[in-house]
Amino acid sequence: MSARIVIIGASLGGLRAAEALTGLGVAPGVITIVGAEPHPPYNRPPLSKEVLEELGGIPDALAKTAFRLKPEVAAADWRLGIPAVAADLAARTVRLADGSDLAYDALMVATGLTPRRLPFPGGDGQRFVLRTLEDAAALRRALTPDRAVVVVGGGFIGCEAAATAARLGCKVTVVEPLGAPMARAVGAAVGAALQRVHTARGVSFRTGVGVSGLLCDAEGTLTGVALTDGRELAADLLVEAIGSVANVDWLAGQGLDLSNGLLCDNHMRVQGRGDLFGIGDVARFPNPLYDAEPRRIEHWCVPGQTARRAAETVVATLNGEAPPEAPFRPLPSFWSDQHAIRLQSFGLPAIADEMEMLEGALDTPDAVTRGVAVGYRRAGRPVAVLTIALPPGRALRHRAYLDA
Ligand SMILES: Cc1cc2nc3c(=O)[nH]c(=O)nc-3n(C[C@H](O)[C@H](O)[C@H](O)COP(=O)(O)OP(=O)(O)OC[C@H]3O[C@@H](n4cnc5c(N)ncnc54)[C@H](O)[C@@H]3O)c2cc1C
């Protein structure tokens, strides 16, 4: 095949796309991978966990997180440190920040997300997000013992960052607008149980409130945050973990549906196009395992699953063949580590309308840390299972709940 395949985004999704294409027999010479970051692909999950706790600088963190490239993938044309800034979908070209244009026959988009920021000025140098190695290195330098850390947002990254900061001796408070941390992802009851686990390990919570402003002194130095209930919290530094937006600006103005990511069909083709594909965190796609609603799923497993599907469609299309007929029904899964306790989920707990205990109890921190399994149903049908503090073999056995 001599067609040109361009992958934008050189992280997990871009890497998995190159692996899938070469695995299907595509020659590395026709693949170009463009990445905004100067680094080769690295693994992000440790950035809020062990790498944040131990961070010894970027080279050290990169050594711990970089993916090993297979020779056929390393042989592709890698353009690192040069973001794509625009695309002309009619002409099938992508413009890079260095002014060069890349022509393509198939364009695979794996540009991931950028953390959202609070819409308030001030506190420069004291406000942190967690997405890149540089973000983790900057936050790690600031996490010295006894500092007052306010984490805004009690989702996965907020809770993991809070746990790590507490383990490093910081005084941590999580501000979460919902009634409990992690509630959107795992439900209110499990969220409340996780909150008790955190509280028992020194993390404080303000739930049911948001941040209404930053408190800064005359020099603009952050001293605290104002909450929507009128109270204030002292803060030496702020971790903004309030979600992310998809990196699709460079595709604007081309008539694509870019609302909440890149809208794709079940073959990971951008809707209405046969030469443009979405992969990983940036892609919003329907999964008939659940329903017809397109969703973006920010879990580590999804770039690999969607890259394989997209690569199969790319190769079939470029060979003039029909893409695979079987529907794409990937099982999403995630893990999270908080205070050295492992959460493991299979399925989509966030779409459930009821839950049931399968093992253990949620009522005390001790009960949770002895091991828990929770089943989630929607309209009576199992849609997810979540385990907390169970050894991997026992956690995996609970996956059978989804077969019922
Ligand atoms: C701190 C942290 C902890 C996590 N922990 C877990 C976990 O415990 N469990 C779990 O299941 N998942 C976890 N995740 C989620 C998981 O890491 C992501 O789902 C995964 O990284 C998504 O891969 P991706 O390639 O789609 O996007 P990304 O990893 O975001 O990669 C996108 C790449 O595209 C680049 N890019 C963006 N715009 C452009 C452009 N215009 N041109 C060129 N390149 C561009 C970006 O710089 C980036 O390198 C975590 C994520 C983070 C940030």
To which H or E segment does residue 18 belong? helix 12-23
- Residue owning the nearest CA to atom 6 of ligand 1: 45
Average pLDDT over residues 313-342: 96
Q: How confident is the model over 203-246, as pLDDT tens digits?
A: 999 999 999 999 999 999 999 999 999 999 999 999 999 999 99
Rounded to whole angstroms, the Cα distance separating 120 from 127 reads: 11
- If you take atom 18 of ligand 1, which residue's CA is the nearest one? 300
SS3 for 27-88, per residue? CHHHEEEEECCCCCCECCHHHHCHHHHHCCCHHHHHHHHECCCCHHHHCCEEEECCCEEEEE
Mean pLDDT, the chain, whole residue set: 96
- Residue of the CA atom closest to atom 17 of ligand 1: 44
Q: Which of 357, 391, 388, 389 shows the shortest CA–CA distance to 374?
A: 357
**Per the structure block, which two tokens stand in for 98?**
């260095």
CA-closest residue to ligand 1 atom 53: 131
Rounded Cα distance between 114 and 170, Å, is: 26
Please answer whether residues 93 and 102 qualify as being in contact, where contact means their C-beta atoms are separated by less than 8 angstroms: yes
Q: Widest CA span of the chain, in angstroms?
A: 66
Burial class of residue 348 (count of CB atoms within 10 Å of its CB; 0-12, 13-18, 19+): buried
Compute the chain's Rg from CA coordinates: 22
Give the Cα separation of 48 and 141 in Å (integer): 13
Q: Which residues line ligand 1 (CB under 6 A)?
A: 8-13, 34-37, 44-45, 47-48, 83-84, 110-113, 130-131, 157, 247, 250, 280-282, 298-300, 303, 334-336
284 CA to middle of ligand 1, Å? 15
Closest CA to 49 of 156, 151, 185: 156
**pLDDT tens digits, 363-393:** 898 889 999 999 999 999 999 999 999 999 9
Pocket test for ligand 1, best of 111, 132, 309 (most atoms within 8 A of CB): 111
State how far the Cα of 271 lies from the Cα of 268, in Å rounded to an integer.
8
Which ligand 1 atom sits nearest the alpha carbon of residue 247? 38
Q: What is the pLDDT of residues 146-173, one digit of tens each?
A: 999 999 999 999 999 999 999 999 999 9
Q: Which ligand 1 atom is nearest residue 41's CA?
A: 49
d(CA 226, CA 224): 7
Yes or no: say if 12 and 42 are a contact pair by the CB < 8 Å rule. Answer: no
206: part of which helix (H) or strand (E)? strand 204-207
* Best probe residue, ligand 1, of 113, 156, 160 (max atoms within 8 Å of C-beta): 156
Q: What is the pLDDT of residues 251-297, one digit of tens each?
A: 999 999 999 999 999 999 998 899 999 999 999 999 999 999 999 99
Given a contact cutoff of 8 angstroms between Cβ atoms, the answer to whether 273 and 286 are in contact is no
- Position 271 scores a pLDDT of 84
Which whole number is the average pLDDT over 18-42?
Answer: 98
Structure tokens at 134: 């540089």
* Tokens representing residue 64 in the block: 């711990």
pLDDT reading at 313 higher than 70: yes
The residue whose two tokens read 């329907």 is: 286
- The 8 Å CB, 24+ separation contacts for 217-220 are 220/122, 220/123, 220/124
What domains appear along the chain, each with residue ranges and CATH number? Answer: 5-114+245-318 (3.50.50.60), 117-242 (3.50.50.60), 340-403 (3.30.390.30)
